[in-house]
Amino acid sequence: MLFAVIPSCNKDLLEVTEQNRLNPDVFWQTADQANSAIIGAYSPLGNQWGWGRMMNLFTTYRSDATNPIPFQGVTTDAANFSIEPTFGRLQETWGELWKTVLRANTILVEVPNIEDPQFSDEQRNQILGEAHYLRAYQYFYLVTLFRNVPLITEPALTLAEIKNGASDPELVWQQIISDLQAAQASLPETWDDANTGRATWGAATGLLGKTHLYRSGLENVNEYALAAAEFKKIIDSGLYQLMPDHADNFGNDKENNVESLFEIQFDDTGLSWGGDIINDLRTAAFEPDLAPPGYTSQSGLLINTWVRDAFLAEQTTDGQIDPRAFNTILWNEPGVMVYLDTFQEAFADNLNAVGCRKYLDFRDGKEQSDFGFAGTPSVINRRIIRYADILLLYAEALNEAEPNSSLALDALNLVRERSKMVPKAASDQATLTQQIRDERVLELMFEGDRYLDLLRWGMIPDVITDELKSNMGGSQYRPGREYLPIPQIEVDTNPLYEQNEGYN
């Protein structure tokens, strides 16, 4: 009964099939797959390590306007320039920026080869255009925030190929320009309702203009005319216009409106920090980082008083406070609310304090800011480029390219006009430059531009003072620290890399 149990030599025993995850060999076959791949490339933009939260720290928090109260080293190190290469939030954000680069690189190699009769040339070109746009978009922030980054345009096929040293920033800029030109050529002007939020011709053109303008500031080249030309394309396209009310740009009800060239979309169904996991948090979780003390689970953000003073320095044509002040800051003014409380209640101990208002979500009787695990998280989309910004950038570029051009002044006044501000009169180039710079504060503060504006204007070392960062014991700025450190994990795992100046 038992004999004859001969040792089995079943050859299949050690062959098991992975059924939990997708094998790349069976992917890249259909139009639908190409579409899901480009969604995957957008994915890092909107999660908590991207614009959902951390990018806010590396842009808005670092400017001369913000003076956060220290919170556990989680959010404030970026703000007072004491950030260490080992800082966890930095490593996470760095990783997210590069994820899009790999995904876009893979799409640009694989999607042209997909043989699917259902895959129209139009759709294929749109996806390739999006890949070019997204790669340029992330490189734009990589080179402006970190400066010394490798230029990688091909997906690594083996582990040996993943390590690359930093490239000359000029090569990175040239790649951004050529990617955006490619994107410009193949992206649609608009998307249908189901696809709102994807990159458009306007998004690519606006970023291309910004790229020329930033290069002119950062790289000591004169590309103002190139920048102005791109902005003019947008103005001339007729696709965009200013919303009637400045406030329309910071609420949940008028998202993806005619003023918006590109914005990060949020929902409120998230469960976990991080990206690439199912139902990761994709709320506007930077809200608690912007909210004032007592209305956030963080320690709270205070705004330097010069911002308030800038708003109060001028009045509207009918003698009122600039309406944009009420959308931008919290200060001791009748009618200013902090969620459900009056300003006087909220800041009883320090009525001279100023808080941030922009992107706070006061709807539905919310009592305070929320990340999204509990309570009511903000889902207000983050505007990356809007038409008012384009007008001001156009004015700035044109004023450099063609000093005393009346078109520059017109663009500035178009923005002011919406908020019933007295139009600026013609003056000289330097005055107009200053007026445009001041206007950017009033129009765009806390939207992520101020720090990078200061950087490209070369003003960081002079502007960032101990007083402006007083809540954190002063500024820890040292030469070189206008750029972020290369995260330690990169330096450690990639021997070809060197740390940025100012962090050794």
Which 247-306 positions form the footprint of other proteins (CB under 8 A)? 255-256, 265-267, 269, 271, 275-280, 282, 293-294, 297-299
Provide, rounded to whole angstroms, the least separation between the CB of residue 111 and other proteins: 12
Which helix (H) or strand (E) element contains residue 301? strand 301-303
Q: Which stretch binds other proteins (CB under 8 A): 21-29, 57-65, 116-124, 211-219?
A: 21-29
DSSP 150: -
Q: Which member of 121, 253, 349, 364 binds other proteins (CB under 8 A)?
A: 349
Provide, rounded to whole angstroms, the least separation between the CB of residue 502 and other proteins: 12
Q: Given the complex with other proteins, which of 279 and 315 has the nearer CB atom?
A: 279
Q: Which member of 31, 69, 243, 321 binds other proteins (CB under 8 A)?
A: 69
Q: Which stretch binds other proteins (CB under 8 A): 4-12, 214-222, 235-243, 408-416?
A: 4-12
Tell me, rounded to whole angstroms, the distance of Cα 115 from its chain centroid.
35
Can you tell me which residue has the tokens 């340029």?
136
If one asks whether residue 315 binds other proteins (CB under 8 A), the answer comes out as no
Q: Which member of 120, 171, 340, 373 binds other proteins (CB under 8 A)?
A: 373
- Interface with other proteins: number of residues (CB under 8 A): 119
- The burial class, CB within 10 Å (0-12 / 13-18 / 19+), for 430 is exposed
Residues 412-451 that bind other proteins (CB under 8 A): none
First to last CA, the chain: 77
- The burial class, CB within 10 Å (0-12 / 13-18 / 19+), for 115 is exposed
Q: Given the complex with other proteins, which of 17 and 220 has the nearer CB atom?
A: 17
- The burial class, CB within 10 Å (0-12 / 13-18 / 19+), for 440 is buried
If one asks whether residue 6 binds other proteins (CB under 8 A), the answer comes out as yes
Q: How far apart are CA 500 and CA 85, in angstroms?
A: 10
Q: What beta strand segments (E) does 178-224 contain?
A: none
Residues 140-199 that bind other proteins (CB under 8 A): 149-150, 152, 155-156, 159, 162-164, 193-198
Q: Which member of 371, 387, 451, 483 binds other proteins (CB under 8 A)?
A: 371
Residues 478-497 that bind other proteins (CB under 8 A): 487-490, 492-495, 497
Q: How far apart are CA 320 and CA 448, in angstroms?
A: 27
Q: How far apart are CA 389 and CA 448, in angstroms?
A: 11
Residues 78-97 that bind other proteins (CB under 8 A): 84-89, 91-92, 94-95
If one asks whether residue 370 binds other proteins (CB under 8 A), the answer comes out as yes
Q: What is the dihedral of CA 191, 194, 198, 201, to 10 degrees?
A: 0
If one asks whether residue 502 binds other proteins (CB under 8 A), the answer comes out as no
Provide, rounded to whole angstroms, the least separation between the CB of residue 52 and other proteins: 10
Tell me the residue length of the chain.
504
DSSP 342: E
